[in-house]
Amino acid sequence: MAGKVSNFSDLIQRVTASCLLHPLAATRHYSGELVSDPDEGEKECDPRRGIEEDPEEEEDDEVEEESEEKGGAEEVWERSKREMRAERLVVEMEVIMNDVFDTVSAMKRAYVSLQDAHCPWDAEKMRVADVAVVAELRRLAVLRERYRRSLICHGGAGGGGGCGRGLGSRPAEVREVVAPYEAALEEMKREVKAREAEVDSLKEKLRSSTSLNGKKGRSLSKRRLSCSQSLVAASPAPELFEATMSQVREASKSFTSLLLSLMRAAHWDIASAVRSIEAAGGAGAAAANASIVGVHHAKYALESYISRKVFQGFDHETFYMDGSLSSLLNPGQYRRDCFARYRDMKAMDPVELLGVLPSCDFGKFCSKKYLAIVHAKMEESFFGSLEHRSLVAGGSHPRTEFYGEFLKLAKAVWLLHLLAFSLDPAPSLFEASRGAELHPQYMESVVKFSGRGQVPAGHVVGFPVSPGFKLGNGSVVKARVYLVSRA
C-alpha cells in the first residue's frame, strides 16, 4: 500500500513537472498519456521554444501583408497621377500665359495704329486697326475660357478627379479669376449707357438749336431744318451746310463781341482801329482820313476783319497748310472721308480734343488762324503778356476763356469746310466787293433800315462782313455786307 501511494505520488509529481516544463494550452491527462483536445484540433508543439505555431494565424498575417502592399501601391499610383496632372496643368498654364502676353502685345500695337489713324485722318487705316483690336479682344476671351476650363478639369492642380470635380472643389479660385473680367464688363456696360445718354442729349440740343434758329427767322425754312436733322448723321446735304453756316455766323458774332469788349477795356482808340481795318480791307484812300462806319457799327468792321482772316484759304482742302491734292486724285473717297470726319468732329469738345491731340490737322488750323487774327500788340494790350501767343506758336493750346471762345469759331469754320468738301459739287464761295450794287438774292445788309427794312436808294456795299456760298442744288447762302451811301 505504501508502495502504491509512493508510486502514485511520484506519478503526480512527474506530470506536474512535465506540465510546468512543457505548458500546453487546452490539454488533458488521461491514463498517464498526453491527448490533444478534440475540439481544438491537432497542434504541434515545438519543444525547443515551448510555443505553438498556428497555420491560420500565419495565413492572416500573409493577407494583411498583401493588403498593405496593395494599399501602398494604390497610394503611390494616386500620388503619381496627381503629380502628372499638376505637371500637365503647369505646362498648359505656361502656354496660356505666353498666348496672353502675345495677344496683349498685338492688341497694344493695333490700338496704337488706331490712334495713329486719327491724325492725320485715315478712314481705311482706322477700319483695319479697329478690326485688329476687336480680333485680339476676342482672342483674349478665348484664352480666358481655356484658363477657366483648365482650372475646372485639373481641380486647380489639386487633389484629382476628372473634369467637373475641380469646379466643386475650387469654386473660390475660379470666382477670383473670373471676377476682374466681370467687373470690366460691367464697367463697359455703364460706359455704353453714359455714351447713349450723351448722344441723346446732343440730339436734343441739336433739335433745340435748329428750332430756335427757325423762330429767329434765319434763312433756313422748316423743311430745310427737318431735312438737316434727318441727314446730319446719314449723308451730306446742302441744307446741312446752310445750318452749319448759321452756326459760323453766331460764333463769329460772339467772338467779335468778346474781342471788342477787350479792346475797350484796354482803352483802344476804336475809331483808329476801324480805319486800319478798312484800309487793310481795301476800303480806299478816303478811309485813311475818315471812316465810313457809323459810330455804333464798329463791331461790323471787326467782324469783317475776323471773317476775312478765318476764311482765307477756304477753297483749298487743307487751308493751304500743306500741298495735299487728295480731293483731285480720288475725289469720291475724299468726299466720304471728309463727311466721316465731320460726323466724328461734330460731337467733340474742341478744348478736350486739342488737349489730347494738340498737333492734329484741326490743331494746326487753330494755331494758324489765331496767330493771324490776334497779333502780338493786340494780345499784349489785352493780357499784359504774350503767354497765349507763345503757347500757340509752340504747338500748345491754352485753356482760357478767351481762347475757348476762339475755338468755338474755329470749330464751326472747320466743320463748314469739311461739309463743303463732302458735297458734290462743292459749294462756291463768293464775296461782295466795295462799291458793288446790292443784289438781294445774293446779299443781305447787316444793318437794318427803318421802313419795313427796305434798303434806301443810292446805297452800295461799303465792305463785306462775311462771305456767301452758291450750292450745287441752286440755293444760295447770302453774303453779309455793310451798306453805305453812294455819296
pLDDT of residue 221: 45
29 DSSP 8-state letter: E
pLDDT of residue 4: 45
The sheet that has 476-477: what strands, in order across it? Answer: 428-430, 468-470, 476-477
Is a pLDDT exceeding 70 seen at residue 214? no
Cell numbers given for 306: 475776323
- Find the mean pLDDT for residues 374-392: 93
In the chain, what percentage of residues exceed pLDDT 90? 36
- Identify which has the larger pLDDT, 239 or 288: 239
Cell numbers given for 324: 495735299
424 DSSP 8-state letter: S
Low-confidence winner among 57-61, 180-184, 422-426 (lowest mean pLDDT): 57-61
52 DSSP 8-state letter: B
pLDDT of residue 160: 47
Report the mean per-residue pLDDT for the chain: 77
For residue 485, give the nearest of 431, 435, 432, 433 by alpha carbon. 435
List Cβ neighbours of 181 (8 Å cut-off, separation of 6 or more). 144
pLDDT of residue 213: 53
For residue 365, give the nearest of 429, 426, 416 by alpha carbon. 416
pLDDT of residue 454: 74
Contacts by residues 334-338 (CB-CB < 8 Å, ≥ 24 positions apart): 334/421, 335/236, 335/421, 335/422, 335/423, 335/424, 336/123, 336/422, 337/121, 337/123, 338/418, 338/419, 338/421, 338/422
Question: Cα angle vertex 129, ends 127, 134, to 5°?
Answer: 95
User: What is the distance between the alpha carbons of residues 401 and 247, in angstroms, rounded to a whole number?
Assistant: 19
User: In the chain, how many H helices and how many E strands?
Assistant: 16, 8
Is a pLDDT exceeding 70 seen at residue 116? yes
- Identify which has the larger pLDDT, 70 or 376: 376
Is a pLDDT exceeding 90 seen at residue 417? yes
pLDDT category, 111, cuts 50, 70, 90? confident
Is a pLDDT exceeding 60 seen at residue 77? yes
- Find the mean pLDDT for residues 186-205: 80
User: What is the distance between the alpha carbons of residues 79 and 73, in angstroms, rounded to a whole number?
Assistant: 10
Indicate the helix (H) or strand (E) that contains 458. Answer: none
Residue 443's Cβ-count burial label (10 Å; 0-12, 13-18, 19+) is: buried
User: What is the distance between the alpha carbons of residues 44 and 215, in angstroms, rounded to a whole number?
Assistant: 128
pLDDT of residue 327: 81
Cis peptide before 47 (omega within 30 of 0): no
Low-confidence winner among 194-208, 320-334, 343-357 (lowest mean pLDDT): 194-208
- Identify which has the larger pLDDT, 295 or 343: 343
pLDDT of residue 411: 96
pLDDT of residue 457: 79
User: What is the distance between the alpha carbons of residues 342 and 418, in angstroms, rounded to a whole number?
Assistant: 6
Task: Write out pLDDT tens, residues 271-314.
Answer: 888 888 878 765 544 444 556 776 678 999 999 999 999 999 99
Q: What is the CA radius of gyration of the chain?
A: 50
- Find the mean pLDDT for residues 395-424: 95
- Identify which has the larger pLDDT, 161 or 313: 313
Q: Read off φ and ψ for residue 463, nearest 5 degrees.
A: -165, 155
- Find the mean pLDDT for residues 168-179: 60
Cis peptide before 350 (omega within 30 of 0): no
pLDDT of residue 59: 56
pLDDT of residue 366: 96
pLDDT of residue 172: 61
Is a pLDDT exceeding 50 seen at residue 369? yes
Is a pLDDT exceeding 60 seen at residue 219? no
Is a pLDDT exceeding 80 seen at residue 404? yes
Task: Write out pLDDT tens, residues 141-154.
Answer: 888 888 877 777 76
DSSP 348-376: --HHHHHHH-TTSHHHHHHHHHHHHHS-H
DSSP 89-120: HHHHHHHHHHHHHHHHHHHHHHHHHHHHTTTT
